[in-house]
Amino acid sequence: MQRVCFLLNVREDRIDEYRERHAEVWPDMLHALSEAGWHNYSLFLREDGLLVGYLETEDFGAAREAMAATEVNGRWQRDMADYFEQSETADDAMVPLAEVFHLG
């Protein structure tokens, strides 16, 4: 299982609303993530907008492609685009960090 961690930046003026949106993620989005192989997916948000994402998957590239092929992901990305400082979509900005240690 591949462990993936990535960083994004939520606009400071949208942090509270971003949290609210994730309190009730669309059921079809949750289902699509699971079906695409995104396991133990978590998001952590610091007060200044730094967002840390973590997931486990067999193949991150394949999991990303599977999500990109879903209609619900396109809707979610369009709805969430204004929350991020990045000019590209959150999906495109997800660059995995290099793992340097794991206590397994």
Residue 35: which domain range? 23-44+70-95
Considering the domain boundaries, does residue 18 fall inside one? Answer: no
pLDDT in the model for residue 91 = 87
Q: Contacts for 90-93 with beta carbons within 8 Å, 24 or more apart?
A: 90/8, 91/64, 91/67, 93/8
Tokens of 29: 């989005």
Enumerate residues 6+ apart whose C-beta is below 8 A from 74.
none
Considering the domain boundaries, does residue 15 fall inside one? Answer: no
Of the residues 22, 31, 39, 102, which is catalytic?
A: 22
The number of folded domains in the chain is 1
pLDDT in the model for residue 27 = 97
Note if 102 is an active site residue.
no
Residue 16, pLDDT > 90, answer yes
Q: What percent of the chain lies above the pLDDT cut of 70?
A: 100
